[in-house]
Amino acid sequence: MKKLFFLATAIFISGCTAPNDEKIRLGAILPLTGGMAEMGLELQKSLIAEVEFLNKNGGILERDLEIIFEDGQCNPGVATAAAQKLVRVEKVPVILGGLCSPETLGAAPIAEKNRVILITSVSGAESISDAGDFIFRNAPEGNTNGQIIADHASALGLQKIALVNELSDFPLSVKKTFLENYDGEIFEENFAPGTMDFRTVISKIENEKPDALFFNPQQNQSFKVFLKQLVEAQWSGQLFFNNTVVGNPALYEEIEDFLQKNDAIAGSYDVVPNPQQTAVLERFETQWNRPALFRHLLANQHDSLHLILAAMKKTGDENDTEGIRDFLYGVENFVGASGTFSIDENGDAGKSYSLVKFDGTEFRNFERKK
Amino acid sequence: MNDLLAQLIWNGLVAGSLLALVSLGLTLIYGIAGFVQFAHGELVALGAYGMLIFHKFLGWEIFPAGVASVACVIFFGIFLEKILFRPVRKKNPLVPLVISIGLSILLQSLILIFFGPQIQTISDRHFESFSVAGKFLATPNQLCAVVAAVILTAGLIFFLKKTRRGQSLRAVSDNRNLAQIFGVNIDSAMRWIFGVSAGLAAVAGIFLGFERNLEPMMGVQISITAFAAVILGSLGSVRGAIFGALTIGFAENLLVGFGVIPSGFSSAIPFLVLIGILLVRPTGFFGKSSQFLRE
Amino acid sequence: MSDFLKISRLRKKFDGVHAVENLNFEVRKNSITGLIGPNGAGKTTVFNLITRFLKSDSGEIFFRGETLKNLPPRKIVDLGIARTFQQIRLWKNLTVRENLLLACSKKYDRWWDCFRRRNEADAERKIDEILEKFGITNLKKMHASDLSYGQSKLVELARTILTDAEILLLDEPAAGINPTLLKTIEKIIFDLKKSGKTLLVIEHNMPFLMKISDEIVAIDGGKFLCQGAPAVVQKNPKLLAAYLGDAREILKSEKC
Amino acid sequence: MIEYFFSLATIALIWTIVAQSYNLSFGLAGLFNLGHVIFFGIGAYAAAILNTRFGFNFLENLGLAALISGTVASGFGILTLRLRGHYLAIATLGAAMIAQVVALNWLELTRGPLGIRGIDEPQIFGEIFVGDTLPHFLLYFGIAATLLFFLWKLFQSPWGRLLRAIRDDELAAIAVGKNIFAAKLWALVLSAALAGVAGAMYAHYRVFLDPSIFALSEIILLILIVVIGGRGNFWGNVASAFLIVGVLSELPRFLNFPETLLGAARNIVYAGLLIATMFWRPRGIFCRRKK
């Protein structure tokens, strides 16, 4: 009976989807479940809206565009399996890369080995820069975030800062540069991803009476719980955040005045509103009839998509990944929804962070004290 | 302003009493049905999400919404017992345990699909925390949680010890066949136990929802910690569950508070305490030391 | 050697209840000794103490002169003391052959033996021989869970014999057995005695026990009552009081 | 297309070894140990650290991972083998949670959440790198076959029979003079060593490793495989590992479920399978129904 069984599964597998070739197919790996699903699904919806719009206006190289989404779950093992399926079954030439760094790092070796372009618009871990020749990053590296906040803290003359980090790759790279650039006293506390009870950590910090508190999460889920418990602990003092909390007004419900009172400052992408960006947000709103969250990430992702499409237009053949790779390395002062940037020899878009301050409803740019 | 030790003790008490509500349900089910119900955490989550529906979406007041949410979870608990656990009651305890693991994953996925992955809060209005005797800060929600836990625990113990129905439940948990011979209706006993434990879980869920906001995976974390509490106090013993929950609640807060254990390790504390106690007493704190032939 | 198995000043207390108190008795080599007493007299506890399943509070047990103090229970069988249980303990998922094989072959009990060439021929032979004697060879391939109560009793007895221990502690071998099967068990016990084995038997079936035992030890409430030949012990007033309570009238009318 | 199924099959092979080793300690010896993924994770991390920091190659790592997991298991066993039933289960589940937190926090050793990157592809006899999929699958198939043969011999040996007896009734085993503690400890150590080897193979295959290897989802996947395959049933577990890891975990991907429901869909498939098996075939779906 067992022999029969093995035979059956083999037949069943091979008979599956055969790739049709009239559409240009791209892959995308995003966390569609788990802690980061909120951000992942938002980016997915934006991509769907972009593709809808492009296909309505003639598509690319006179063919429609299609994006195949795979769930990376912020887990390297799952991301590798997803990349293998995209590369070997769907045979996509380009993968719009992982959201969290473990996803990108899990998928990168597969893309590199099969000469498939992988471009991430969010992952901040430094190790992505040397992950491979076909691996690109259209997002700032995590550590610049830590640097500008450290400089600003020194500028404000703060002596002692409490640093609360989530044990994930992006926050750790932010913490590394923050510690390198800030010479005042540090009181550090770490928490495991998914922690929901910060009361004890907050009581410990209040007992240390620091001048400021730098909350450094990977997922903004923990921001909402941490802030709620911070308000209930009647905290008062300067607040710093990394860029993951920017761009999602839902997070700031009923703590607007608390943030403003403690003049909350966060690192964020240097996202100057420009026509392309508003167009992206409008397309999202028409498609999903609600305003978009994580607007700065959507702008980045839109630029990554359009970089790829521009490269394909130039090479005339979407499967010529070497051609696309060379085009990308040659990108100089590309004007996109996330501003103008060029790509360096590591495949990074060399973007930088700027500081934004909470003005009652949103984190917005402000001129920093020199 | 306020003194750290008092604040930590209060945090420990709040965490401990919420954990006690969850652990009581677990130990009752083990006492009577002989297996650790893995999906108990999801009932806690359903209590919280029920509150979200009634209070936030339907706009009911807190108290009626709470009662409605608890009632729904109680019926759901009884319904689960009827369709999933009754048919396998005769089988060895591993079978219902594995079914409850499957049920746990199923409920998590359903919550994820219906309520979405993002964090949600039950009430928009914020709780103003107030200082108690100048020593520590507490919020009204925490206070109600501790009071509710004390009342419910005392009520449960009274119910089990004094009332006829309660004694029949204890008889069933002691020896199911014997109780059956003396005319105790096993099915109704099971309904009572699963209903009561689901109710306790829902109440804990509501307070947890106010205390820490809602997310689809909130059930897993609290139920694993409750497993540690129940085992630590030794399975099936009510005072063991309460003792275990309070020990873990205080250990988590005091050890992290005074830096004995770095806060990154806080989720491992329940199990460090558990394994420590099990080394000394292999059947939990209140367990009879296992004579070879007795067990 | 007078006392083959000697219990001296044995005491065991279970949270307040004196299960066994200051018990002394001996079992002569190659004898069949009955151990009787009303329910709850501590008979099975004595078995558990001899086989060190339970640790005694105080007192000693001597087997062929050596003390059994602080020996782990698994070593007791190697010394030559084997036992059966009040409720039958067979391995349900194993076949009868496997149940018996485990008792007699100790050679290949380590995991790296799985690579050595094994010849369990002699063990197989011993099993066939004893099944033949018990008349249950047809059960060899059956799963232990499918056996009837009587068959399980026989298989457990066979398993205990196969450990070829010198002294066998039988815990109610005749309980719930129909008369025809009782005959086989009786024959088996007499054969064991002939082949030089010693038996200590707990039994409530008085006629059967009186018939097979050379000597009877009676205990009640964990304390020693009397020891002697079956006929003598039967008459002992203390024993009757222990069993039947103080019903003097019944005593007069019954010719027990 | 075929290459993808070989890569899936390689993962299924690794999980077959883990499931079969768990089948030895949980299925055969009845050690209700929910923390078996600890040994899988320790083997993976041992191989990752030894390879990236000390330059041990693939074959050496297999041996060393087995050794390290085995020693950890012996210490672990001495502590936990006195526990029974649910106490053993929850204590070992707790140990797995502790292992995850330690792997997350011990930055010097495991680089914490950054994970360990750049583990070499497996290579055998010096420099033959087994890079792409087919030779990779063949190498892993060879290793898996030898390990499974060794396990099969164990299952059939008198020692295997002794373990099954201990699972049914410990006291009877003591009464016939068996050293049940040693047998159970060896069962745990052997199953841990094999899980360690599987961990090393996983690390070298994935070339990237992070603490999620100790996650609850891995524990549940392992229970699912052994429960479907049938406790103590050798071939059942091989088939169930391939069915679940090879086919079912990728099924939602193939049936183009709406992307947003992909993860939840897979969990629902697992949950349904778990509950259905327990209702109709508690002894695993590959063994003949009890007569």
Q: Please indicate if any CB of chain C lies within 8 Å of the CB of D183.
A: yes
D37 Cβ contact partners less than 8 Å away, ≥ 6 residues apart = D96, D195, D213, D214, D218, D219, D222
pLDDT band at C1 (very low <50, low <70, confident <90, very high): very low
The identity of residue A197, as a single letter, is D
Q: So what's the pLDDT on residue D213?
A: 84
CA A101 – CA C217 distance, rounded (Å): 79
Which position has the higher pLDDT, B64 or A77? B64
Q: So what's the pLDDT on residue D257?
A: 65
D267 to chain A: closest CA residue: A33
B293 to chain C: closest CA residue: C53
Hey, of B291, B294, B295, which one would you mutate to test binding to chain C, going by the most C CBs within 10 A of its CB? B291
| Chain D residues touching residue A88 (CB < 8 angstroms) | 1, 3-4, 7
D95 to chain B: closest CA residue: B271
Hey, of A200, A222, A224, which one would you mutate to test binding to chain B, going by the most B CBs within 10 A of its CB? A200
Nearest to C27 by CA among C155, C170, C153: C170
pLDDT band at D131 (very low <50, low <70, confident <90, very high): low
Q: Is the confidence at residue D252, as pLDDT, over 80?
A: no
Full set of structural domains in chain A with CATH: 22-141+274-353 (3.40.50.2300), 143-269+354-365 (3.40.50.2300)
Assess if residue C14 is contained within a domain: yes
Handedness of CA B230, B233, B239, B245 (dihedral sign): negative
A120 Cβ contact partners less than 8 Å away, ≥ 6 residues apart = A96, A97, A98, A99, A104, A128, A136, A137, A138, A139, A304
C94 to chain D: closest CA residue: D165
CA-based nearest distance B177→chain A, Å: 41
Burial (CB count <10 Å: 0-12, 13-18, 19+), residue D280? exposed
Q: Please indicate if any CB of chain A lies within 8 Å of the CB of D171.
A: no
Q: Please indicate if any CB of chain A lies within 8 Å of the CB of B4.
A: yes
Which position has the higher pLDDT, C240 or D259? C240
The DSSP H or E segment spanning B290 is none
**Secondary structure (DSSP) of D29-46:** S----TTTHHHHHHHHHH
Write out pLDDT tens, residues C148-164. 888 888 889 888 888 88
CA C225 – CA C245 distance, rounded (Å): 15
Write out pLDDT tens, residues A149-163. 888 888 888 889 999
What SS3 string covers A57-71?
CCCECCECEEEEEEE
**Contact call for B293 and C73, based on CB within 8 A:** no
Q: Other CB atoms closer than 10 Å to residue D192's CB: what's the count?
A: 32
Assess if residue C52 is contained within a domain: yes
| Chain D residues touching residue C98 (CB < 8 angstroms) | 161, 165
Average pLDDT over residues D237-245: 87
Q: Is the confidence at residue A315, as pLDDT, over 80?
A: yes
Average pLDDT over residues A354-362: 81
Q: So what's the pLDDT on residue A15?
A: 41
Its domain, for residue C131, covers: 5-106+119-253
**Contact call for D176 and C82, based on CB within 8 A:** yes
Instruction: Give the Å distances, CA to CA, from D16 to A13, A250, D22, D142.
Output: 19, 45, 10, 13
Q: So what's the pLDDT on residue D259?
A: 56
In D, residues 17-76, which contact B (CB 8 Å cutoff)?
32
**Contact call for D4 and A84, based on CB within 8 A:** yes
Residue pairs between chains B and C whose CB atoms are closer than 8 Å: 9
Handedness of CA D126, D127, D131, D132 (dihedral sign): negative
C119 Cβ contact partners less than 8 Å away, ≥ 6 residues apart = none
CA A128 – CA A105 distance, rounded (Å): 7
Q: Please indicate if any CB of chain D lies within 8 Å of the CB of B275.
A: yes
Assess if residue C68 is contained within a domain: yes
Domain count, chain B: 1
Write out pLDDT tens, residues C13-52. 877 777 788 888 888 888 888 888 877 778 888 888 888 8
Q: Is the confidence at residue C251, as pLDDT, over 60?
A: no
Q: Please indicate if any CB of chain C lies within 8 Å of the CB of D291.
A: no
Q: Please indicate if any CB of chain A lies within 8 Å of the CB of D212.
A: yes
Nearest to D236 by CA among D147, D155, D142, D136: D155
CA D118 – CA D98 distance, rounded (Å): 26
Q: What is the CATH number of the domain that holds C50?
A: 3.40.50.300
Write out pLDDT tens, residues D191-229. 999 999 999 999 988 877 888 888 888 888 888 888 888
Pairing of strands A363-365, A353-358: antiparallel
CA D30 – CA D19 distance, rounded (Å): 14
In D, residues 217-276, which contact C (CB 8 Å cutoff)?
232
Query: Does residue C82 contact residue C165 with C-beta atoms inside 8 Å?
Result: yes
Q: Please indicate if any CB of chain D lies within 8 Å of the CB of B282.
A: yes
Nearest to A355 by CA among A333, A370, A340, A336: A370
Average pLDDT over residues A49-62: 85
D114 to chain A: closest CA residue: A169
Assess if residue C113 is contained within a domain: no
Among B7, B116, B267, beta carbon nearest to A203: B7
Q: Which range is least confidently modeled, A66-75, C63-72, D182-191, D259-268?
A: D259-268
Write out pLDDT tens, residues D22-63. 988 888 888 888 888 899 999 999 999 998 888 888 888 899
Q: So what's the pLDDT on residue B258?
A: 84
Its domain, for residue B90, covers: 15-218
Domain count, chain C: 1
Q: Please indicate if any CB of chain D lies within 8 Å of the CB of B49.
A: no
Q: Other CB atoms closer than 10 Å to residue C253's CB: what's the count?
A: 8
| Chain C residues touching residue D171 (CB < 8 angstroms) | 53, 85, 89
CA B136 – CA B123 distance, rounded (Å): 24
CA-based nearest distance D283→chain B, Å: 10
Instruction: Give the Å distances, CA to CA, from D114 to A75, C27, D87, D117, D203.
Output: 12, 72, 34, 8, 15
| Chain A residues touching residue D264 (CB < 8 angstroms) | 33
| Chain B residues touching residue D83 (CB < 8 angstroms) | 278, 282
**Helical H segments across chain D, by residue range:** 2-22, 37-54, 58-80, 85-105, 107-110, 133-156, 158-168, 170-175, 180-206, 216-229, 234-241, 251-254, 262-280
SS3 C172: coil
Assess if residue C111 is contained within a domain: no
Among D84, D270, D279, beta carbon nearest to B87: D279
Q: So what's the pLDDT on residue A11?
A: 42
Write out pLDDT tens, residues D152-204. 888 888 888 889 898 888 888 888 888 888 999 999 999 999 999 999 999 98
pLDDT band at A368 (very low <50, low <70, confident <90, very high): low
Whether chains A and C touch (3+ CB pairs under 8 A) is answered by no
pLDDT band at A20 (very low <50, low <70, confident <90, very high): very low
Write out pLDDT tens, residues C190-243. 888 888 888 888 888 888 888 888 888 888 877 888 888 887 777 777 777 766
What SS3 string covers D167-182?
HHCHHHHHHCCCCHHH
CA A102 – CA A80 distance, rounded (Å): 10
CA-based nearest distance D208→chain A, Å: 6
Q: Please indicate if any CB of chain D lies within 8 Å of the CB of B91.
A: yes
Q: Other CB atoms closer than 10 Å to residue B6's CB: what's the count?
A: 16
Q: So what's the pLDDT on residue B148?
A: 92
Q: So what's the pLDDT on residue D104?
A: 85
Mean pLDDT computed over every residue of chain C: 82
SS3 A24: strand
Q: Is the confidence at residue A270, as pLDDT, over 80?
A: no
C76 to chain D: closest CA residue: D177
What is the reported pTM?
0.83
CA-based nearest distance D255→chain C, Å: 41
| Chain A residues touching residue B124 (CB < 8 angstroms) | 253-254
Q: So what's the pLDDT on residue A172?
A: 83
Q: Token pair of D219, please?
A: 């524990």
Nearest to A120 by CA among A246, A29, A248, A247: A29
- Interfacial residues of A (vs B; Cβ cutoff 8 Å): 33-35, 37-38, 41, 167, 189-192, 194-197, 199-201, 203-204, 206-207, 221, 224-225, 228-229, 231-234, 250, 253-255
Assess if residue B236 is contained within a domain: no
Assess if residue B277 is contained within a domain: no
| pLDDT averaged over 10-residue windows placed end to end, chain B, 295 residues | 80 92 91 87 93 87 91 94 87 84 91 81 73 79 90 91 84 78 82 92 92 84 89 85 92 87 86 87 70 36
CA A44 – CA C81 distance, rounded (Å): 74
In D, residues 109-168, which contact C (CB 8 Å cutoff)?
153-154, 156-162, 164-165, 167-168
CA-based nearest distance C36→chain B, Å: 21
D217 to chain B: closest CA residue: B105
The identity of residue A82, as a single letter, is A
**Contact call for C91 and D164, based on CB within 8 A:** yes
Assess if residue B106 is contained within a domain: yes
CA B149 – CA B156 distance, rounded (Å): 10
Q: So what's the pLDDT on residue A13?
A: 44
